[in-house]
Chains A and B, each alone.
Chain A
Amino acid sequence: MLYSPIQPMHIPDGFLSTLVSVVLWIISAAAVAYALRRVSRDLGERQVPLMGVLAAAIFAGQMLNFSVAGGTSGHLLGAAIATILLGPWAAVIVMTTVVSVQALIFQDGGLLALGANLFNMAVIGVTVSYFVYISIQKLARGKSWGIFVGGALAAWLSIVIASLACALELALSGTSPANIAVPAMGGVHMLIGLGEAAITVSALAFLYAARRDLFHIAEAPPKGSRSIWAGGLVIAALLAVLSPLASAHPDGLEWVAEQKGFLDAARGPFYNIIPDYVFPGISNEAFATIVAGIVGVIIVFGVSLGVAYMRRTRKT
């Protein structure tokens, strides 16, 4: 039994353009910094052990799985359950810890792409969960079904909305066209979300029977939670409307890409200091590329052999 890190929502490095990665890094860093301040104020000195151990619990919980069909299995991501039990700010921090350690240690998601992964799983996952859960709670007026229906919908929708964000980021980066990425990611995660919802509800049922006192978020919402509720509503609505739109009219995103193309064109003269450059002494461009490739391969083997040789002499 091994930790299998293949989770379709953890974007590895190389799939997002630098611009998209950096912008999402800035947004996530700001959100995490603010959440950290809020958690410090609400929890005080208890926060470090509580957040650290619960992040470890979520991580370990992601290893629990059950077989579904055809060799696939359902397992937990945890944003919804963390939000319901800890409240939105603490959940952002817990998910940030989980996703960051996964990227750093297990290469589950890239380091440059970490900003985007944090944005999808910690920021969007938590705000959407919070919005759905609190809304259902209000409808249920304190009846216990609100916890379970709210938990199930929060788990399912947070997964689906986060996957739509993921698909749009890939589309904006020019990695995967929106009209393919959105239905594919969204479709797969509508199924994965069912597994998440089933585990979340069962876990909530267990906790409701064992420790009812943990469910107090809805009764005493932390200060500033209205803005998260509104944020969740806006994100969910925006992505639910934007994604099908983007996938029906990929030209829209193409237009954005074109704007980026304009940027590249504007940058062009600076980089084209040496116009029509070809490898020294060779006039055919394709041939020059091939020569450059061969030179590169020779350098690779030269360097590798040299390093290996140095190591061998060092050992003896």
Chain B
Amino acid sequence: MHIHFLDPYRPLVSPIHSLDSRAKFVLTIAFILTVSLTPIAAWPVYILLFAVILSVEILSGLGVWFVLKRASLALPFVLAALPVLFTIHGQTLFTVPLGSRVFTASVEGLERFVSIALKSWLSVQAAIVLSACTPFPELLQAMRAVGIPRLLVGMFGLMWRYLFVLVDEALRMMTARAARSGVEEGAVRKVGGSLAWRARVTGGMAGSLFLRGFERSDRIYTAMLSRGYDGEVRSMLLPPFGSRNWFVLIYGLAFLGFLLLFGILFFG
């Protein structure tokens, strides 16, 4: 099936794509950490951070629109931060009378809310660029290089390898369910059975998927054994980290450090 839509990697030729995955991984984490540590309402720093990520997006050839569209997916969570608008006391911005209670929005609350939304939006863009510019096997290499246990990285790799197979299975089950479920043209009565029945059907599908996973893992294990697997997760040696990567990494970290210092000194 056409399941490749799950893989966010976009194979392009760009300076960002050709950068070593370790440098990209560390710089992405550093960027997100910088965003997180930047004080509330440090607008100029946010703008500079946006400039950084925007430049990377343009350089990567992904297209700014592609990244911004994907970044909007994370926005609904902003609702969780909406109450701070009214609960932080400060200079009154506007009031919302709701029944017998009156909610007062403050300037400080607005600043905090907008800061949280911006921080989240900037961070998610960095993560999108990382996953769109780095093939997953290279991400695994980067994870191994920064010291994530080899076993765990091995499991991530195996999960990725069979994710498409099992998602395919799930999609086939859903197609089969849709095919079994006839819908009357211009139906008068409710179709689709009761809620409990629908949940039971879905649960049966989930159980079946789990079972197929179990059995497949058995077969995979046997296949691995027959190829000489002895419990050790072996992987290729990491390629050398060239001078260009060192340059980008050190320059990037220094720049982010400078931005953070700027933010804390003047807005902290």
Contacts and interface: CB of A to CB of B under 8 A. Distances in A.
B5 interface: yes
Given A45-B229, A52-B154, A56-B163, A175 B80 contact: yes
Nearest to A5: B73
B184 interface: no
Interface string B37-53: 10000011001101100
B44 A295 contact: yes
Give the one of B73, B117, B196, B217 with max A CB within 10 A.
Answer: B217
Interface stretch (A8-16, A229-237, A238-246): A8-16
Contact of B201 (A56, A66, A207): A66
B174 A1 contact: yes
Contacts, number: 306
A222 interface: no
Given A64-B206, A303-B54, A59 B155 contact: no
Contact of B230 (A45, A106, A210): A45
A177 interface: yes
Given A107-B131, A299-B48, A18 B33 contact: yes
A105 B25 CA distance: 12
A137 to B, nearest CB: 19
B128 A107 contact: yes
A220 interface: no
Contact of A6 (B73, B139, B159, B169): B73
Interface stretch (A127-135, A138-146, A270-278): A270-278
A63 interface: yes
Taking chain A's interface residues, is the majority helix, strand, or loop, or is none over half, making it mixed? helix
Contacts of A48: 151, 154-155, 158, 233
A104 interface: yes
Interface residues of B, number: 101
B219 to A, nearest CB: 9
Mostly helix, strand, loop or mixed at chain B's interface? Answer: helix
B58 A308 contact: yes
B122 interface: yes
Contacts of B188: none
Nearest to B265: A271
Given A13-B119, A14-B120, A303-B55, A63 B81 contact: no
Interface in A1-50: 1-3, 5-6, 8, 11-18, 21, 32-33, 36, 40, 44-50
B84 interface: yes
A223 interface: no
A206 to B, nearest CB: 3
A203 B37 contact: no
Contacts of B151: 36, 40, 47-48
8 contacts: A53-B166, A59-B159, A69-B195, A110-B124, A177-B87, A202-B199, A205-B203, A307-B59
Q: Which 8 A-B residue pairings sit nearest by Cβ, starting from the closest?
A: A202-B203, A52-B158, A45-B231, A14-B120, A57-B213, A206-B207, A13-B123, A14-B119
Given A3-B6, A59-B166, A274-B265, 18 more contacts: A1-B171, A32-B152, A52-B217, A56-B162, A59-B163, A64-B173, A64-B209, A74-B202, A85-B210, A97-B159, A105-B131, A106-B131, A107-B71, A198-B196, A205-B203, A296-B51, A311-B58, A311-B59
